[in-house]
């Protein structure tokens, strides 16, 4: 599948765009993937990058919880790019391969441990239903507490934005790896 947008170079951008580029590249080492899409609206790209930096590097959830939530949304959205970028990070952060496979195949969470099941079930409920049932909410609140639950909801929303930015414009991972789904 060919991307619907051509790759943008820094020098092609306005002064505002170049400033956004420098800001994003300074925190991420480059401007690729979703930021190649978003850089076309510099203020949006900068704001999204800042939220992403908080989520990835300063959040309240454990790195494993965060990465499992990210993979869940990447799979729900169908973003192979985001999946490819985070599957290896998830393993490094301690997400069990069995949990990753359940998410990849959109399988049952019954065989996951309680923490994994809560993250995946909560992220799926929000993405699929756009809300929690009363019992889902109470279960998530009891497990995460208010602050961490708010952050989990933020991750679901943020990575939905990232995923939709990628799939709407057919942004696919580079290289010849077989598609994960």
Residue 134 to residue 95: CA distance in whole angstroms: 28
150: alpha, beta or left? (left if phi > 0; alpha if psi -120 to 50): alpha
What are 27-46's pLDDT values in tens digits? Answer: 999 999 999 999 999 999 99
Q: Is the dihedral of CA 48, 52, 54, 60 positive or negative?
A: positive
Q: Please report the DSSP string for 96-144 in residue order.
A: -HHHHHHHHTT--STTS-HHHHHHHHHHHHHHHHSS--HHHHHHHHHHH
pLDDT of residue 1: 61
Segments of the chain assigned E as strands: none
pLDDT of residue 178: 79
Q: What is the mean pLDDT of the chain?
A: 96
Q: Which fold has domain 63-168?
A: AhpD-like (1.20.1290)
pLDDT of residue 133: 98
pLDDT of residue 33: 93
pLDDT of residue 158: 98
């Amino acid at each position: 599948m060919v991307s619907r947008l051509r790759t943008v170079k820094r020098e092609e951008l306005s002064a505002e765009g170049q400033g956004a580029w420098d800001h994003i590249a300074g925190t991420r080492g480059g401007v690729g993937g979703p930021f190649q899409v978003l850089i076309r609206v510099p203020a949006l790209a900068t704001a999204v990058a800042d939220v992403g930096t908080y989520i990835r590097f300063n959040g309240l959830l454990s790195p494993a919880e965060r990465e499992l939530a990210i993979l869940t949304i990447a799979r729900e959205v169908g973003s192979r790019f985001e999946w490819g970028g985070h599957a290896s990070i998830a393993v490094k952060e301690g997400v069990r391969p069995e949990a990753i496979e359940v998410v990849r195949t959109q399988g049952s969470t019954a065989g996951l441990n309680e923490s994994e099941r809560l993250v995946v079930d909560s992220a799926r409920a929000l993405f699929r239903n756009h809300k929690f049932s009363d019992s889902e909410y109470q279960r998530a609140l009891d497990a995460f507490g208010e602050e961490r639950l708010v952050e989990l909801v933020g991750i679901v929303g943020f990575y939905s934005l990232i995923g939709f930015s990628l799939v709407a414009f057919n942004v696919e991972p580079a290289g010849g790896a077989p598609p994960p789904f």
